[in-house]
């Protein structure tokens, strides 16, 4: 967590706009260093306090989430659905370590929501890392929905393909076989199928029957296109503003 936390705090420091912000920032770092029950109580109160800046709640939620404090869950899920990819990556990292059974259900709901596909990259990667009962069905459903001609969200589809290969569940074979026909997904889909023990000749025969798909569309510019996986350090990508006006209140 040490490297990820430093990356987060370095990024947040660039967002500070006043001496008061710097004082609050230093206070947060002090609470993180103390790592005491009293400090965690103060961090938890910060999550629900009014008029707290987003960066302060992000740091507090990250610290609590990585410590397994379930009071961070709601804030982290809101950040997982945030339009700024770097914040989404931070939330995914902490959620993967939170150990809350609600996390997989929340990630699956975000990944499978067709209205939120542009922001589904990190929920998809988080599902693959969690290896929860919801993971494979949600990734299959998301991938199948994206295997349409000229679908712009090919990076989300690619994350589904890679996640299904890592999860190793043969329920994914039909969706992965269909993905082989799509240029931007073909190599990853073939690799995932190989991990599932599906022979290359069978993949080629079945894949030749599919047509069109994410590889035929334009760059999706999807949420977190250059982002890190759920278990990787936050700070890989940047965007602007809360997704769909649903970000955390300030």
Least confident among 31-35, 97-101, 204-208? 204-208
pLDDT of residue 243: 39
Long-range contacts of 105-112 (CB under 8 A, 24+ apart): 105/134, 106/77, 106/80, 107/80, 107/134, 107/138, 108/134, 108/135, 108/137, 108/138, 110/80, 110/81, 111/138, 111/139, 111/142, 112/138, 112/141, 112/142, 112/145
Band (110; pLDDT cuts 50, 70, 90): very high
Q: Chain-wide mean pLDDT for the chain?
A: 84
User: Is 152 exposed, middle or buried, given 0-12, 13-18 or 19+ CB atoms closer than 10 A?
Assistant: middle
Given a cut of 70, whether residue 226 has pLDDT beyond it is no
pLDDT of residue 27: 92
What percentage of the chain has pLDDT greater than the value 90? 68
Band (204; pLDDT cuts 50, 70, 90): low
Band (175; pLDDT cuts 50, 70, 90): very high
What percentage of the chain has pLDDT greater than the value 70? 79
Q: How far is CA 225 from the centre of its chain?
A: 11
- Which carries the bigger pLDDT value, residue 109 or residue 204? 109
Band (88; pLDDT cuts 50, 70, 90): very high
pLDDT of residue 234: 43
Q: Give the global pTM.
A: 0.80
Q: How far is CA 177 from the centre of its chain?
A: 25
């Amino acid at each position: 967590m040490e490297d990820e936390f430093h990356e987060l705090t370095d990024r947040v420091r660039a967002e500070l706009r006043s001496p008061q912000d710097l004082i609050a920032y230093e206070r947060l770092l002090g609470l993180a260093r103390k790592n005491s029950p009293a400090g965690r109580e103060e961090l938890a109160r910060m999550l629900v306090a009014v008029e707290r800046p987003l960066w302060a709640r992000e740091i507090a939620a990250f610290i609590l989430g990585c410590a397994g404090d379930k009071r961070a869950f709601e804030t982290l899920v809101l950040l997982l659905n945030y339009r700024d990819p770097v914040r989404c990556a931070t939330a995914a990292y902490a959620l993967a370590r939170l150990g809350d059974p609600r996390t997989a259900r929340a990630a699956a709901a975000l990944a499978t929501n067709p209205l939120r596909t542009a922001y589904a990259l990190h929920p998809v990667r988080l599902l693959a890392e969690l290896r929860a009962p919801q993971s494979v069905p949600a990734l299959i459903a998301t991938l199948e929905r994206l295997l349409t001609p000229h679908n712009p969200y090919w990076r989300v589809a690619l994350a589904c393909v890679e996640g299904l290969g890592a999860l190793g569940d043969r329920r994914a074979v039909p969706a992965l076989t269909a993905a082989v026909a799509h240029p931007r997904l073909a190599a990853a889909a073939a690799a995932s199928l190989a991990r599932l023990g599906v022979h290359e000749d069978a993949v080629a025969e079945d894949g030749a029957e599919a047509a069109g798909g994410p590889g035929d569309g334009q760059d999706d510019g999807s949420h977190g296109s250059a982002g890190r996986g759920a278990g990787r350090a936050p700070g890989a990508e940047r965007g602007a503003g809360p997704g769909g006006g649903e970000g955390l209140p300030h």
